[in-house]
Chains A and B, each alone.
Chain A
Amino acid sequence: MSKKVLVVDDDSDVRSFVVTVLEENQYIPLVAQDGVEGLEMIEKMQPDLVILDVLMPRGSGIRLYHKMKTDENLKKIPIIMFTGIALRSFLKSQKVLDEFKGGEVPKPEIYLEKPVEPEELAAAIRKKLG
C-alpha cells in the first residue's frame, strides 16, 4: 500500500511542486498550509513522513518540529525539513526552544535547503520510506 506523505508549507507553489514529486513517486500526498493545520493533519491522518517548511504563519515549522519530537506518539514519524533558511539558523531556534521548554530535541535527520531538484527530494523520501 502506498505511503502517506504530508507536506506542510504556506507557499502554494512549493506545495504543488512537492505534491507532484510525491505523485510521480507513487506516494499519497497530503497538504497543510501552516503549523496548526499541519498538527491537525498529523494527528488525524497519521502520515508516514512529514515534509516541513520552517517559516510559516500560525505555528511555524520551528514549533511543529519541536512539538513532534517531544510528543511520545509523534516522535517516530520521520521528518524532512524543506526550507529556504540555513540549517544553522534552524538549529539555533531549536536550541532556544529547548531552553525555553526544557528537554532536548534531536537534530533533523534530513535537512534540505531550497531550491531542490525533484530527483534530490525523491531520493530523500525514498531513503526514509524505502
Chain B
Amino acid sequence: MPANKILIVDDEEIIVKLLSMSLRSDGYETITASSGEQGLEVFKEQTPDIVITDIKMPGMGGLELLKSIKKIDSEKEVIIVTGHGDIDSTITALQYGASDFINKPVRDEALAIALQRAKEKIAIREKLKGYTENLEIKIAEATAEIHRKSNFQLLLIKSSTDAIVAFDYDWKVVVYNPEAARMFGEPAKDVRNKMYIDDLYTPKIAKIFKNQASAKKGQNTFPWKENMLNTKDGRKIPVRYTSNVLYEKGEFVGTVNFFQDLTEIKRLEKELVQSERLAAVGQTVSGLAHYVKNILIGLKGGSYVVDVGIAKNDTEKLKTGWETIKRNIKRIGDLTQDLLTYSKQREPEFETCVPNDIVNELIELLKDFAASKGVRLLKELDTGIGEVLADPKTIHHSLLNIINNAIDACLEDEEISKRHEVKIKTFRDSNNYICFEIKDNGCGMDEETQKQLFDPMFSTKGGKGTGLGLLVTGKLIEEHKGVIEIKTSPGDGSTFTIRLPHEKAIKVDIN
C-alpha cells in the first residue's frame, strides 16, 4: 500500500506551504497544521501515514506531538525537522520513536531520502503484519503437508512388496512393514520398538548386517545378494537382500534392510527348467521310438524262440528265449526309470554312506560282465574318505552309467591288440569334494561327439543306447550341486571325473 498521505506541521506558514507544494509535485497527498495541537487534531481525523513536524513550536512542540502520536499509533512514521546542533532534542526524539531527522533549512534531497526510508519502514511493517496474519494459516498448511508427506512415505513403506526393516543406532527395530511381518512371521506390534536385531534375525543374518555397519565408513550401500533366510519359526525362504547403513553428519544412526522373497521366482525358474527338459524329451521322441523299436525286436525274437522251444519241447531254446524276453523287459524298465528320473525334479536325499563301498559293490556287479568282454576293472580307493553325508543313489546311478559307458568304449575300440581296462579312483580334491575318476583306455571321443554328450537322445551306441544315460547322470550330479568333467582323446580313451560336495557324516549315538 503506498504511503501517500503526509501531515506537515510547522508554525511558519511559508515552510508549510513550500513543503506541501514540493511534496504534492512529487505525487503525495498533503495535509497541514500550524501548531502541535492542531497537528494532533488533524492526525486523529485524517490518519496520515507520515507526519513531518517542526521541533520548535509555540505551545505543543514537535516532541510533544511525536509522543502523542506514538501513543495513539506506534506504527506511524514521524519525521522531525530540527535546527542545527540541537543534540539533546534529537536524542529525546529518538527515545520517543522518531523515524528520521531533517535539518533546517529543509532540502529536497534530504526530505526525499527521509520519506523514502519512512515509506520502506511502513512497507516492511505491513509485510510483516501480513506474514503474522498468515503465519497461522501457513503453519496449518505446512503441518498438513508434512503430515501428508510422512503419511505418503509411511504408506510407501507399508505397501512395499519388499520387506523393510530398519534399526536405530542401538539395533532396536524402528521400521517393520507388513511384508516383513509376513516374511518373519512376527506381528508388528511385538517387534516395532520392542525387539532388537538378535531377537528378530537368526544369528547368521544378524551378523551379516552388523558387520556391514561396522565395516569401513563411507560405504553405506551394499549390493543385492541371495541367501536362504531361516525364520525363527523354522521356515526357509530364499531371499534377495540388501542394506543401507545410515549416517547423519558422519555419525552412525541406524541400518535399513530390504528383503525380497524369491520363493515364487525360484518356483517359476524350476518350472521353466522342467518344461525345457520335457520339451527336449518331446523333440527327440523319434530317438526314443528307435530305442523302443529295438526292445520290441528283442521281445518278438524272444517270443519266437520260446514258441519254438514249446513246440519242440526244447528246454535249451525255452531258456534262451526266456532270457531274451527278461532282458528286454529290464531294458523297458530301465528306460522308464531313466525317463522318470530325467523328467522329474528330484532333490538329493542325503544320508550317511561310504562312497568306497558303493564303488566296491559296482565293481563286484560288473566284474564278470566286463571280463566276458575282455575288459579289466581296476580300482584305487582313498581309504581316508570313510563315511560322508551324500546321496548314495546319485553316486550309484552316476557311477554305474559311466562305468558301463567306459566298458562300451573299450568294446568300440578298433585297436583290438590293446589290453583294455577301466580304472575307478576315489579321492578328495582341494575343495574337500569327494571325487570319482573313471578312466578307460577305449576308443575315446572326437570333439563332435564330446559336444553332444549331454544332448538328449544322443547316442554313440546305435539302437542299443537310449541317449538318456549320461543326461540323467548329468542331471543327478547337478542336483547334488556337483560337477562332471571329461577328458578324452580319440584312440587313447576317456576320463570322467565326478566331484560331489558333501557334509560330514553325523554320528548317531544310539544310546
Interface residues of A (CB under 8 A from B): 10-14, 16-18, 20-21, 23-24, 36, 54-59, 84-85, 114-115, 117-118
Are B463 and A17 in contact, with the CB atoms below 8 A? no
B317 is an interface residue with CB less than 8 A from chain A = yes
Are A55 and B302 in contact, with the CB atoms below 8 A? no
What is the CB-to-nearest-CB distance from B442 to chain A, in angstroms, rounded to a whole number? 10
Are B327 and A85 in contact, with the CB atoms below 8 A? no
A-B contact list, 5 entries, CB within 8 Å: A10-B464, A14-B298, A20-B321, A84-B290, A84-B294
Which chain B residue shows the least CB distance to A34?
A: B411
Are A16 and B301 in contact, with the CB atoms below 8 A? yes
Cα-based distance from A117 to B327 in the complex (angstroms): 20
What is the CB-to-nearest-CB distance from B130 to chain A, in angstroms, rounded to a whole number? 99
Are A16 and B414 in contact, with the CB atoms below 8 A? no
Cα-based distance from A117 to B300 in the complex (angstroms): 8
What is the CB-to-nearest-CB distance from B66 to chain A, in angstroms, rounded to a whole number? 124
Residue-wise, chain B 272-308 has the 8 Å CB interface mask toward A (1 for contact) of 0000000000000000001001101110111011001
Q: Which residues of A contact B398 (CB under 8 A)?
A: none
Which chain A residue shows the least CB distance to B462?
A: A55
B320 is an interface residue with CB less than 8 A from chain A = yes
Interface size on B, residues (CB 8 A): 27
Given contacts A36-B416, A58-B412, whether A85 and B463 have CB atoms under 8 Å apart is yes
Cα-based distance from A20 to B306 in the complex (angstroms): 10
5 more contacts with CB within 8 A, not counting A21-B304, A58-B411, are: A12-B324, A23-B308, A36-B416, A55-B464, A57-B412
Cα-based distance from A56 to B327 in the complex (angstroms): 19
B405 is an interface residue with CB less than 8 A from chain A = no
B20 is an interface residue with CB less than 8 A from chain A = no
Which chain A residue shows the least CB distance to B463?
A: A84
Q: Which residues of A contact B298 (CB under 8 A)?
A: 11, 13-14
Given contacts A13-B302, A17-B304, whether A115 and B297 have CB atoms under 8 Å apart is yes
Q: Which residues of A contact B294 (CB under 8 A)?
A: 11, 84, 114
Cα-based distance from A85 to B291 in the complex (angstroms): 11
Are B297 and A84 in contact, with the CB atoms below 8 A? yes
Q: Which residues of B contact A11 (CB under 8 A)?
A: 294, 298, 464
What is the CB-to-nearest-CB distance from A97 to chain B, in angstroms, rounded to a whole number? 15
Q: Which residues of B contact A117 (CB under 8 A)?
A: 300
Are B297 and A118 in contact, with the CB atoms below 8 A? no
Q: Which residues of A contact B327 (CB under 8 A)?
A: 13
CB-based closest 7 A-B pairs: A17-B301, A55-B462, A13-B298, A84-B463, A115-B297, A13-B324, A57-B412
Pick from A16, A56, A57, A59: contact of B320, CB below 8 A. Answer: A16
What is the CB-to-nearest-CB distance from A129 to chain B, in angstroms, rounded to a whole number? 20
Q: Which residues of B contact A23 (CB under 8 A)?
A: 308
Are B304 and A118 in contact, with the CB atoms below 8 A? yes
Q: Which residues of A contact B297 (CB under 8 A)?
A: 13-14, 84, 114-115
Residue-wise, chain B 306-350 has the 8 Å CB interface mask toward A (1 for contact) of 001000000001001100100110000000000000000000000
Q: Which residues of B contact A114 (CB under 8 A)?
A: 293-294, 297
Q: Which residues of A contact B301 (CB under 8 A)?
A: 13-14, 16-18, 115
What is the CB-to-nearest-CB distance from A73 to chain B, in angstroms, rounded to a whole number? 23
Cα-based distance from A57 to B305 in the complex (angstroms): 25
Q: Which residues of A contact B414 (CB under 8 A)?
A: 58-59
What is the CB-to-nearest-CB distance from B307 to chain A, in angstroms, rounded to a whole number? 9
Instruction: Give B18-43 interface residues, CB cut-off 8 Å to A.
Output: none
Cα-based distance from A21 to B321 in the complex (angstroms): 12
Are B411 and A57 in contact, with the CB atoms below 8 A? yes
Cα-based distance from A56 to B297 in the complex (angstroms): 16
What is the CB-to-nearest-CB distance from A47 to chain B, in angstroms, rounded to a whole number? 21
Given contacts A11-B464, A13-B324, A57-B411, whether A20 and B305 have CB atoms under 8 Å apart is yes
Which chain A residue shows the least CB distance to B325?
A: A13
Cα-based distance from A30 to B279 in the complex (angstroms): 45
Q: Which residues of A contact B324 (CB under 8 A)?
A: 12-13, 16-17
Are A58 and B308 in contact, with the CB atoms below 8 A? no
Which chain B residue shows the least CB distance to A10?
A: B464
Q: Which residues of A contact B290 (CB under 8 A)?
A: 84
Greatest chain B CB density within 10 A among A10, A11, A57, A59 is at A57
What is the CB-to-nearest-CB distance from A71 to chain B, in angstroms, rounded to a whole number? 19
Cα-based distance from A16 to B411 in the complex (angstroms): 21
What is the CB-to-nearest-CB distance from A112 to chain B, in angstroms, rounded to a whole number? 11
Q: Which residues of B contact A54 (CB under 8 A)?
A: 462
Cα-based distance from A65 to B412 in the complex (angstroms): 18
Cα-based distance from A50 to B323 in the complex (angstroms): 25
Cα-based distance from A114 to B290 in the complex (angstroms): 11
Q: Which residues of B contact A13 (CB under 8 A)?
A: 297-298, 301-302, 324, 327-328
What is the CB-to-nearest-CB distance from A116 to chain B, in angstroms, rounded to a whole number? 8
